[in-house]
Amino acid sequence: MIKIAITGNIASGKSMVQDIISSFGYVVMDTDVCAHDLLKNNKDVIKFFGTDCREKLGKIVFSDNLKLKKLESILHPLVKNEIFNFFAVNSNKNAVFVSVPQLFEAGFDNIFDKIIFVSAPYETRLKRLITRNGYDSEYAKLRLSSQIDEKFKIPKCDCVIVNDSDIISLEYKTKECLELLL
């Protein structure tokens, strides 16, 4: 089984690529959804932060790097365990995909055979965060700056999909990437 990670910085289009790959018949795990589920009623998170509400936590951790590291120290081991469970459940598949926005930040890159990086221009990602998430400009920029710059991540990846056009172009680029990796 080939284990392939899908990653990219916030608002780059990872979910769109993940949906395209899924539409091709592949099994895809979304660790964002997994982390959100693991966050609900998490006693350690509630004890440290006083809440498990994602929006409240976002405001807390994205303005304080130490608190962000604390939240990650609670959630990352749980997410990693879920990824290994996903691998075990799907061990009969030729290839599985896991969307991991925090792949490098969490140090999960070493558990995958191949890595797809989804990239989009900074201004495009900023506009998406403001429009899609309803963030104000300052908070959107804070969220964008919370991740390692993609110029440090891309050299570690096996395929880069640049999401700078329409969905048809993105489907074509995703198909080309899969042909390269599989």
> What phi-psi label fits residue 82: left (phi over 0), alpha (psi between -120 and 50 degrees) or beta?
alpha
Q: What crossing angle do the helices spanning 14-23 and 167-181 adopt, rounded to 10°? A: 70
Rounded CA-CA distance 167/16 in Å is: 8
User: Which residues are known binding-site members?
Assistant: 11-16
User: Which residues are known binding-site members for ATP?
Assistant: 11-16
Rounded CA-CA distance 19/29 in Å is: 10
Bridge partners (DSSP) of residue 16 are none
Angle at 81 between CA 75 and CA 84, to 5 degrees: 140
Angle at 155 between CA 140 and CA 36, to 5 degrees: 40
